[in-house]
Amino acid sequence: MVTIINTHEVKDFNTWKEQFEAGAENRKRAGINVINAYNDHSNPNKITVISEVVDQETAHAFIANMKPMLEKISVGEPQITVLNKLA
């Protein structure tokens, strides 16, 4: 199992939320299981999404497909961490 932690600041939370919710079916088909989405207490436009996928290949394909969309709605470069589950 692989965990993806994606943190980015968006231009507008409501726009991000609409696009995030609209992408639920695409994520499901791609094998992406969103554990949860969060926004920063002091900056509601700073979003963190934690997801799980089966393997590294799925994780990297998801990231590659997600980056163009993030570039449109984000402020600055997203911070994406990919972690292998140890236990």
**Domain with 57 in it: what CATH number?**
3.30.70.100
pLDDT of 66: 82
pLDDT of 52: 96
| Bridge partners, residue 6, by sequence | 49, 80
Nearest 10 degrees: CA dihedral of 51, 52, 58, 60?
50
Whether 4 and 55 have beta carbons less than 8 Å apart is answered as no
Structural domains in the chain (count)? 1
pLDDT of 50: 97
pLDDT of 49: 96
33: containing domain: 2-84
pLDDT of 19: 87
pLDDT of 86: 87
pLDDT digits 0-9 by tens, 13-61: 998 899 899 989 989 998 999 999 999 999 999 999 999 999 999 999 9
pLDDT at 2 over 90: yes
